[in-house]
């Protein structure tokens, strides 16, 4: 009798989880690319970015996600953890314009000096191409970022041409 009860509970819990994950509601993916940016007082810098991400659609055309990113630029290594929001605008079959905003925490280190702070970013020109229901390809070309850090710099503001590309798997 115990085994039967445990089996019934497992089936009920499994069905509730499956019904909560409709196709296209959740995704896992990431972005990688270059960061070419102009910052106040520092001139032009370039670097490398890798940023895995997980999220889901909370409403019609509205996506919430969280990403953890690592970047290196000008000898500064940084790690970010950012919740983000994007709105999907369908341009044509399977092509979407997805402007977004993210805010989060940042930790950076350079030559033994470390800093922590907060930042906010606007993705002004992000596109997504979904050739199938399960896969999507993303590209972010231009973003506007503001970062306030204690230690390395008091604050930074940059308009970056960040050519990043990514892949998403929807489940």
What pLDDT shows up at residue 133? 84
Question: Is residue 156 in a domain?
Answer: yes
DSSP tag of 19: H
- Per-residue pLDDT reduced to its tens digit, 20-67: 334 457 899 988 887 665 555 555 667 788 889 999 998 888 999 999
Indicate which CATH number applies to the domain containing 110.
2.40.160.20
Question: Is residue 160 in a domain?
Answer: yes
Q: Where do the H-state alpha helices sit in 54-135?
A: none
Helical (H) or strand (E) element with 86? strand 76-87
Biggest CA–CA distance in the chain, Å, is 73
Can you give the residue range of the structural domain that contains 102? 25-170
């Amino acid at each position: 009798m115990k085994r039967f009860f445990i089996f019934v509970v497992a089936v009920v819990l499994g069905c509730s989880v499956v019904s909560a994950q409709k196709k296209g509601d959740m995704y896992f993916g990431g972005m990688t690319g270059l960061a070419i940016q102009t910052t106040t007082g520092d001139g032009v810098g370039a670097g490398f970015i890798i940023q895995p991400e997980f999220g889901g659609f909370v409403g019609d055309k509205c996506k919430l996600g969280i990403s953890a990113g690592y970047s290196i630029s000008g000898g500064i290594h940084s790690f970010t953890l950012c919740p983000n929001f994007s709105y999907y605008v369908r341009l044509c079959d399977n092509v979407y314009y997805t402007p977004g905003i993210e805010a989060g925490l940042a930790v950076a280190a350079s030559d033994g000096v470390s800093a922590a702070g907060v930042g906010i970013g606007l993705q002004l020109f992000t596109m997504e191409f979904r050739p199938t229901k399960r896969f999507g390809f993303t590209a972010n070309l231009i973003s506007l970022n503001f970062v306030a850090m204690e230690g390395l710099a008091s604050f930074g503001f940059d308009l970056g041409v960040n050519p990043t590309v990514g892949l998403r798997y929807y489940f």
